[in-house]
Amino acid sequence: MRYSAFSVFRNALDKHRGWSSAWRFPEPKPHYDIIIVGGGGHGLATAHYLAKEHGITNVAVLEKGYIGSGNVGRNTTIIRSNYLLPGNNPFYELSLKLWEGLEQDLNYNAMVSQRGVLNLYHSDAQQAAYTRRGNGMRLHGVDAEMLDRAQLKTMLPFMDFDNARFPILGGLIQRRGGTVRHDAVAWGYARAADARGVDVIQNCEVTGIRRENGRVVGVETSKGFIGCNKLGLAAAGNSSRVAEMAGLKLPIESHVLQAFVSEGLKPFIDHVVIFGAGHFYVSQSDKGGLVFGGDIDGYNSYAQRGNLAIVEHVAEAGLAMIPALSRIRYLRSWGGVMDMSMDGSPIIDCTPIDNLYLNAGWCYGGFKATPASGFCFAHLLARGEPHSVTRAMRLDRFERGYAIDETGRGAQPNLH
């Protein structure tokens, strides 16, 4: 069923009893051309682009819970392509371009809102670093603009510009960046992939990967064995655990990241604002709640919840930026498991095991990558070779010494 203003009107005449289910709930077939492990944003996007771009529809997405129960439904919804390095920038810019046409492509309202992503700077050194990043972006054809203190005072008058420790001196803004309703992304991709014949199978946990003569031939699941010609892993925070089923050890650590939402307030923050003196980012949802977060918890964990020390740390950084936040009540918080790679950049590649392909290492920035990740992983699975914008995102880059270290922190996953 095609969604449109007309279909809403027509169904209203029938008291909305005529809507059909957005996707099917199929039982698994014995064999697929391609199986994707993980019904998060990346797995579902991969299935959609396999069907749409490559005509491969004998595909199953296996999700251990319900779709959207992982990080795709837990993030702070920020999208941007303000990267410096040539290994990252063209990939994230492709993603932003796909976001710009996503709702038309999927025929689904994902509430893509290009409200601008602003990074604040607080020292001359930071200004120089942001200027360099902005210039790098512009050289790649990506929009970037430096704003001075006076411009920011007009845009965001409630910020503490004269904070004795962290004065706000200016910022780098990418106006095409913004936010997207995260779970609508999972639903939109699931619906579009399903419509092209992909089986999205929920409550189906992969418990083992079967190999014959070294080649992957299928997966053991809570619904029995399912065979496949190719297996793509898109399990985000659980990537290491799933890859281990095939005897593969990944250069990834799993860490928790928390997110927070406040009570609903009248609109006052029009952009995504990122405090540069401590890790704090905030935007305001359409319901009025402030959506914010900070650093990862800093220890290895597969638990989808964090600890109070980070709650305090995030609150402190928020208050240093906007003192009036002390008067809001926060409504809820949650955690998600991050697949932190050694250089903070993702991996989209073949593996040393025949028929096994990997999509992982998204750290806490994989939501914005969802469309390009799916697009490029589908390309890899269909053609057996990397897409041009993911050539640097290889699994063996760490042993070859070609890390994509955007923040320059070295092999310290908890610091990226």
Please identify, using beta-carbon distances, which residue of 45 and 322 lies nearer to ligand FAD. Answer: 45
Q: Which of positions 326-355 make contact with ligand FAD (CB under 6 A)?
A: 336
Per CB under 6 A, 368 contacts ligand FAD: yes
24, exposed or middle or buried, with CB in 10 Å at 0-12, 13-18, 19+? Answer: middle
Per CB under 6 A, 143 contacts ligand FAD: no
5 contacts: CB under 8 Å, gap ≥ 6: none
Question: How many residues contact ligand FAD, by CB under 6 A?
Answer: 39
Alpha-carbon span 237 to 253, nearest angstrom: 9
List the one residue from 280, 364, 375, 377 that touches ligand FAD (CB under 6 A): 364
Binding mask 24-53 for ligand FAD (x = CB under 6 A): -------------xxxxxxx----------
Binding mask 175-214 for ligand FAD (x = CB under 6 A): ------------------------------xx--------
Please identify, using beta-carbon distances, which residue of 164 and 308 lies nearer to ligand FAD. Answer: 308
Q: In 64-136, at which residue ranges do the beta strands (DSSP E only) sit?
A: 78-79, 117-121
List the one residue from 91, 130, 280, 362 that touches ligand FAD (CB under 6 A): 362
* Three-class secondary structure of residue 102 per DSSP: helix
> Strands 224-233 and 31-37: what pairing?
parallel
CB of 83 to ligand FAD, least distance (A): 12
Please identify, using beta-carbon distances, which residue of 172 and 190 lies nearer to ligand FAD. Answer: 190
Q: Is 185 in contact with 9 (CB distance < 8 Å)?
A: no
Residue 200 CA neighbour count, 13 Å, CB half: 29
Alpha-carbon span 177 to 106, nearest angstrom: 20
CB of 335 to ligand FAD, least distance (A): 6
* Three-class secondary structure of residue 207 per DSSP: strand
CB of 139 to ligand FAD, least distance (A): 23
* Three-class secondary structure of residue 331 per DSSP: strand
Strand partners, 273: 118, 282
Per CB under 6 A, 121 contacts ligand FAD: no
Q: Is 107 in contact with 199 (CB distance < 8 Å)?
A: no
Tokens 């957005």 correspond to what residue?
22
Please identify, using beta-carbon distances, which residue of 43 and 116 lies nearer to ligand FAD. Answer: 43
Q: Is 81 in contact with 129 (CB distance < 8 Å)?
A: no
CB of 11 to ligand FAD, least distance (A): 30
Q: Is 89 in contact with 136 (CB distance < 8 Å)?
A: yes
CB of 75 to ligand FAD, least distance (A): 3
List the one residue from 23, 50, 60, 63 that touches ligand FAD (CB under 6 A): 63
Which runs of consecutive H residues, i.e. helices, occur in 211-323?
239-244, 308-321
CB of 1 to ligand FAD, least distance (A): 25
Q: Which of positions 259-298 make contact with ligand FAD (CB under 6 A)?
A: 259, 293
List the one residue from 89, 127, 240, 258 that touches ligand FAD (CB under 6 A): 258
Alpha-carbon span 349 to 289, nearest angstrom: 38
List the one residue from 36, 51, 78, 200 that touches ligand FAD (CB under 6 A): 78
Per CB under 6 A, 234 contacts ligand FAD: yes
Alpha-carbon span 350 to 394, nearest angstrom: 8
List the one residue from 51, 62, 243, 277 that touches ligand FAD (CB under 6 A): 62
Q: In 57-187, at which residue ranges do the beta strands (DSSP E only) sit?
A: 59-62, 78-79, 117-121, 145-148, 170-174, 178-179
Please identify, using beta-carbon distances, which residue of 172 and 360 lies nearer to ligand FAD. Answer: 360
List the one residue from 71, 95, 119, 240 that touches ligand FAD (CB under 6 A): 71
Q: Which residues bind ligand FAD (CB under 6 A)?
A: 37-43, 62-65, 69-72, 74-78, 205-206, 234-238, 242, 257-259, 293, 336, 362, 364-368
